Amino acid sequence: GKGYIYGERTIDVNDWFFACHFHQDPVMPGPLGIESMFQILQVYMIEEGLGSEMKNPRFNQVLDQISWRYRGQVTTVNKQMSVDLHITKIEKTESRITITADGNLFKDGLRIFEVSGLIFCVEEERS
């Protein structure tokens, strides 16, 4: 109920990870799906101006509460990957803004990742 984010990407058979993840089994590493969710949260925070009042902002991931289930892989035969995130909480303090979200990753319209408790923040960098 706090926000919704959607992003998509065309799969390219020449993507670097297909050639080096598993020997003779070209798949996208699962953590890159999670990384795509963190990246789309970062874009959201920038576009919403979250942290814009900070003098030295830094993005950070919080990995201790994430729950991740997957049922498939992105391979070279797939055409499109898409991600959607449902923001469940936004917390603000003087030096940190934290977003918690649940998300899904799809390949060609089929959901293959389900993530809950994804936490991303922008915080004041300490010198």
Cα-Cα-Cα-Cα dihedral sign, residues 33, 64, 44, 113: positive
> Exactly one of 11, 15, 21, 75 is catalytic; which is it?
21
- 31/37 Cα distance (integer angstroms): 10
- CA gap 81, 18 in Å, rounded: 14
Q: How many CB atoms lie within 10 A of CB 47?
A: 9
Catalytic (active site) residue 21: yes
Per the DSSP assignment, residues forming a β-bridge with 96 are 123
Which residues have a catalytic role annotated?
21
